[in-house]
Structure 1
Amino acid sequence: MASKRQFNFFQKLLYFINSIVATILLLSYFLAFVSPKTVPVFSVASLAVPFLIVVNLVFLIYWIIKLKKHFILSGVVLLFGWMFFPPFVKFSKKNTALNSDVKVMSYNVRMFNLYNWITEKDIDKKIMNFINEKEPDIIALQEYYDAKNVKLNFPYQYFVPKSKRNSFGSAIFSKYKIINKGSLDFENSANNAIFIDIVKNKDTVRVYNLHLQSLKLNPQKENFGEANSEKLVDRLKTGFIKQASQVEAFLEHEKQWKGKKIICGDFNNTAYSWVYRQLAKNKQDAFEVAGSGLGKSFNYFFPIRIDFILTDNKTKVHSFKTYSEKLSDHFPIMSRINFD
């Protein structure tokens, strides 16, 4: 009888923890409707939504295995998120290929490993070989380093450095002639948004490369276990506020363009954030349309998708893939898009 009582107590404790985690997840869903400028500290929780989903999945599976009705709690919360918010995981995949497709890639190359964050040799050459092998028609590169040894097979390019003194910034390479280009030049930030206009058949298409303010999450460190957690939270709050201002500036610029468009980039935030909700409004997320799996695009200790390819609703998304190459702290993503 003693062991049975202990087991019951353990179950009660576990369900209590389950209730807290499920409640936090449910509340975190709604942070996508609240600007980080309003209550920035709450935005930190939106970053943890993928982690909270995984924890609730573990609880769901545990209670099902134990044949306990307690699974309903996490089940309902997860179902609610699945129905009304971007999917955490995609089970189906769309894979269509037409000769008229445009292959669009987005990749944060982390300055081609300039400072040897990865000890493996020739990371810069491996990144270049990977890109050239996949043959995207357009590629948006974040944290691009403009060096003489960087050789990519594109006839047209647009590069905007962080400042006149720097050789790194944002770049777009294209196999289509660039007829117009520009930069938003975010204030007080190493991040930026740039764009090019290209002509595909009779369509003029705008391609944005959007790199929002970094939250400085380090894959090699357990940031959420830092000794001084207050510094971490303060840094995240500052980052979220800057992201909100950058999104507002971007949307103001974007609404001036009435034609077809693609928005690529490293948003430095998840699909459960206010940032993503604003940017993805009235657009298609290529991962949601044609991707599969978790879509993990950042090399962190839990699945997190912060790199995106968005299109206007008139554009057809035929495929989407997240590659597993560990040549940066981000994974490259590519989509086949059709404007015909």
Structure 2
Amino acid sequence: MKKLLNLIIYSVHISVVFATILSGYSYFIPPDLVKYIGIAGLLFPVFLIVNVLLGLYWILQLNLRVLLTLGSIALVLPQANTLFQNFIRNEEVFTEESITVTTFNVRLFNHWHWFDEDVKEIMPKLLDSLGSQIVGIQEYYQSENTPKFNDFKYQFIATSFRNKNFGMAIFSKFPIAQKQVVYFQSEAADDRDGFIYADIKTPLGMARVVCAHLVSFKLTNEDLEMVENPSIESDSEQLKANYLSVLQKINRAFEKRAHQVRELKEFIIESPHPVILLGDLNDTPVSYTYKVLSGRLQDTFTQAGTGIGHTYNRTRYPFRIDYIFHSSEFKTIKHMVTTRPMVSDHYPVTAVLIRSQYESKVFHSDK
């Protein structure tokens, strides 16, 4: 009986090993070329965890099949490092001049009263407690509920995306030399959307701060409920149709983000200044979006983060979709995600940057 059980588990383990490796490297494939390939990257953490659990089983059995887990994890270690960092990290001591930057999707400043908290009062205090000197805001919404960020002398608010009240913003305690809205050029990327940037005179020199919000999956509350709590009592045909609808939404978003991130990358390549990218990218670290940007810029989480660094709280799964990237003129000495108070479905992400000794890759095209 034990031999049969081990044979079944071994067969499952082989499948999980292949799934771990294939999903881990799926981010090399543009989602607009291969349909549904982006979903493989979403599932990578699941395959990785199951792989580890199966490895533990073989350890308890004193069986060399644990090498399946060890070998496959070695192959996907770079991808795993984008998901997990040490849970304890010694804070680096520095004497150099630094800047503190924050990215925050504010969910319309609670315009529809999703939260009980007084966002108008709390949010400026929150940014002050973080020590933020430059802030990139996504889902900015202009209304009577919009907080006053008076501590930031220099502000660039762009509410021209889709409607006059909705958009993005960059707040700075340092002078802004130039600012602009950049719309995506191709219809496939959705030329109604775009990103904003501001050239800011920081103590570390001129920096081009880009604030971006790439297209989301556009899943409704009903979609999320169905995925997280599938009902066995539901009509099978209707359930199948609902799941297909969700998969199509997810795939369309992956395809559109592929176009958007390529345009964003080309803009970064042409930057005359070192770049700091603050954004809600709506993609996990094992994704084509992340692969494109991390080839040019450095992720503050992998440099100085701890734990899993999840930034999105609307689902029970710990997704990291909000990022701070920077060119290699900078070095991250601190990265933190602030989970309280909860005033949005995203957590603010903050990083402390200092000058780095390395030459930036941002100026060199890979064409």
- TM-score, with length taken from structure 1: 0.89
How far the C-alpha of 1:287 sits from its partner, in A, is 0.8
1:36 paired residue number: 31
**2: CA distance, partners of 1:159 / 1:206:** 16
Root-mean-square deviation (CA, aligned residues, Å) is: 2.4
Structure 1: segments with no counterpart, 5+ residues: none
| Alignment check: 8 A CA contact 1:285 1:309 kept | yes
SS of the residue 1:205 aligns to: strand
Q: Could you tell me which amino acid in structure 2 is paired with residue 255 of structure 1?
A: I
1 CA distance for matches of 2:117 and 2:328? Answer: 42
1:131 equivalent among 127, 130, 143: 127
Residue of structure 2 equivalent to 1:195: 197
Query: Structure 1 98/231 Cα, relative in aligned 2: closer, same or farther at 3 Å?
Result: farther
1:266-281 aligned at under 5 Å gives the runs: 266-281=280-295
Measured in 1, the distance between the counterparts of 2:320 and 2:54 equals 22
Selected match of 1:151 from 148, 153, 157? 148
Name the residue aligned to 1:101: 98
1:180 paired residue among 150, 173, 178: 178
The 1:127/1:14 distance shift into structure 2, 3 A limit, reads farther
Structure 2 Cα separation of the partners of residues 190 and 56 of structure 1: 42
Equivalents in 1 of 2:99, 2:170: separation in Å?
14
CA distance 1:316–1:124, shift in 2 (3 Å): same
- Gaps in structure 2 of 5+ consecutive residues: 231-238, 357-367
Are 1:269 and 1:306, in contact at CA under 8 Å, matched by a contact in 2? yes
Matches within 5 A, 1:224-303: 227=239, 228-299=242-313, 300-303=315-318
- Report the CA distance between 1:263 and its aligned residue: 0.8
**Alpha-carbon shift at residue 65 of structure 1 (Å):** 3.4
Is 2:319 the partner of 1:321? no
Deviation at 1:257, TM superposition (A): 0.9
Other structure's SS at 1:239 match: helix
* AA of the residue aligned to 2:99: V
What's the CA shift for 1:83?
A: 4.3
- Taking the aligned partners of 2:34 and 2:79, their CA distance within structure 1 comes to 23
* Structure 2 residue identity aligned to 1:296: H
- Following superposition, the deviation at residue 280 of structure 1 comes to 1.3
Asked whether 1:208 is paired with 2:222, we answer no
Same amino acid, percent of matched pairs:
26
- TM-score, normalised to structure 2, is 0.83
Q: Counterpart of 2:353 in structure 1: which amino acid?
A: I
Runs of 4 or more, structure 1, over 6 Å off, are none
Question: Judging changes above 3 Å, is the alpha-carbon distance between structure 1 residues 189 and 45 closer, same or farther for their aligned structure 2 residues?
Answer: farther
The 1:51/1:162 distance shift into structure 2, 3 A limit, reads farther
Gap change, CA 1:164 and 1:302, over 3 Å in 2: closer
Q: How many residues align?
A: 334
8 Å contact from structure 2 (residues 38, 254) kept in 1:
yes
Structure 1 partner of 2:110: 113
1:331 has 2:351 as partner: no
Q: 1:57 and 1:164, CA in 2 relative to 1: closer, same or farther beyond 3 A?
A: closer
Contact preservation (8 Å) 2:338, 2:348? yes
Distance of 1:165 and 1:218 partners within structure 2: 21
